[in-house]
Amino acid sequence: MRKHVAESVKPKSKVFSLKKVTVISIIFVMIMGMMGVIATNDKVKSILISLSSGYEMTVVTTSTSVAQILAENNIKVLAGEVVTPDLNSDIDENRLITITKEEVEEEETEPEDYFSEEEILQSYSQIIEKIVTVQETIPFETITKDTSGGSSATTSKVVTAGVDGIKEVTYKITYRNGEEIEKTVISEEVIKEKVDKVVEVSTLVTSRGSSERAVTGTKAEYQAYAEQKCYAYGWSTEDFNNLVKLWNKESGWRVTAGNKYSGAYGIPQALPASKMASYGSDYLTNYKTQINWGLNYIKCRYGNPSNAWYHSVKYNWY
């Protein structure tokens, strides 16, 4: 009986081992199949990457993520660059990754400085410089020498006649389109010296051999009276100021001023003095009579004191 049992157990052990081997083999085959699937999915791919600089490179990878492929090759996307396909996508069937610079539309702006057509043409206008030499008059001055000792009755005489001088002046003149825009003196040379007019003022002596005592008033009173008359004629303050300059030059506003050579007399230097008699028999000593006649003379001949003054400056008489 024992012998029979021992013989029965041994075949059973062999059967179990065979089954075990079969199961292990099946499991191994399944694992190898799965690994084959994984290996298939991780197949190596060749990818072309085109950079924004124009450089192209081909890389080999098992990745499909655009971001991962760029990271594997140390490629950084800079600000203003665009990746196609985008970083969050997988590569497509073209296996091409393109990096380009983003196009920025520039806003049209008007130029800050705007010039009109006329200004542009003027900037290209013709500029001409000329050197010009001309002769100009040097006006003489009047010098008064008072020897009257403060007498109110005086007479004057010309000791030295005035003569204008002449100078030669060289200018650099700049023209734009024929119009003078700048004039600069380069040099000047006196050709003829001026001779100043010298007038001597002395005490007036009458035929009785004594100083004339009938003259009254002051220079300030004479000018105040003349100013009122100027405004009565409708003349301006400028006209009165020019009258003051005119009669300062002619007589110094002296009632008894006389010109030894011409015979002109009084504040307005009437020639002859008797012309003033139409305004009063006291024309030799009365400043009002002389001023009234003088202003009427200016009005009839020149229109106003300013015109009379300009004439006197130009011709040295009025």
pLDDT digits (tens, 9 = 90+) for 91-103: 988 889 999 998 7
- In this prediction, residue 108 carries a pLDDT of 62
Q: Alpha-carbon distance 266 to 275, whole Å?
A: 11
Comparing 17-26, 131-140, 208-217, 305-314, which segment has the lowest mean pLDDT?
208-217
% of the chain surpassing 90 pLDDT: 51
> In the chain, where are the structural domains located?
1-43, 45-101, 133-199, 214-315
| CATH of the domain spanning 133-199, picked from 2.30.300.10, 3.40.50.1820, 2.20.230.10, 3.40.30.10 | 2.20.230.10
DSSP output for the chain: -HHHHHHHHHHHHHHHHHHHHHHHHHHHHHHHHHHHHHHHHT--EEEEEE-TTS-EEEEEES--BHHHHHHHTT--PPTTEEEES-TTSBP-TT-EEEEEEPP-PPPP---SS---HHHHHHHT--EEEEEEEEEEEE---EEEEE-STT-SSEEEEEEE--B-EEEEEEEEEEEETTEEEEEEEEEEEEEE--B-EEEEEEE-B-TTSSB-------HHHHHHHHHHHHHHTT--HHHHHHHHHHHHHHTTT-TT-BBTTT--BTTTTBSSGGGGGGG-TTTTT-HHHHHHHHHHHHHHHHSSHHHHHHHHHHHS--
pLDDT band at 158 (very low <50, low <70, confident <90, very high): confident
Which residues sit opposite 97 in a β-bridge? 49
Closest by CA position to 306, among listed 227, 250, 239, 248 = 239
Does the structure show a pLDDT above 90 at 19? no
Does the structure show a pLDDT above 90 at 53? no
- In this prediction, residue 257 carries a pLDDT of 92
Structure tokens, 36: 């084959």
Structure tokens, 105: 């539309």
Comparing 82-96, 192-206, 279-293, which segment has the lowest mean pLDDT?
192-206
pTM: 0.37
User: Are the C-beta atoms of residues 283 and 289 closer than 8 Å to each other?
Assistant: yes
Distances (CA, A) of 290 to 119, 145, 256, 262: 60, 24, 10, 18
Q: Alpha-carbon distance 59 to 74, whole Å?
A: 12
